[in-house]
Amino acid sequence: MDSVFIRDLRVETVVGIYDWERRIRQIVSLDLDMSTDIRRAAGSDRIEDTLDYKAVAKRVAQFVSAAQFQLVETLAEKIAALVLDEFKVTQVKVTLHKPGAVSGSKSVGVSIERSAPSR
Q: Which residues are catalytically annotated?
A: 98
- Diameter of the chain measured on Cα atoms: 52
Q: 15: how many CB neighbours lie within 10 A of its CB?
A: 22
Rounded distance, CA 71 to CA 16, Å? 6
Strands 107-115 and 91-99: antiparallel
Judge whether 26 and 98 are in contact, CB under 8 Å. yes
- Quick check: helix, strand or coil at residue 7? strand
Beta bridge partners of 111: 95
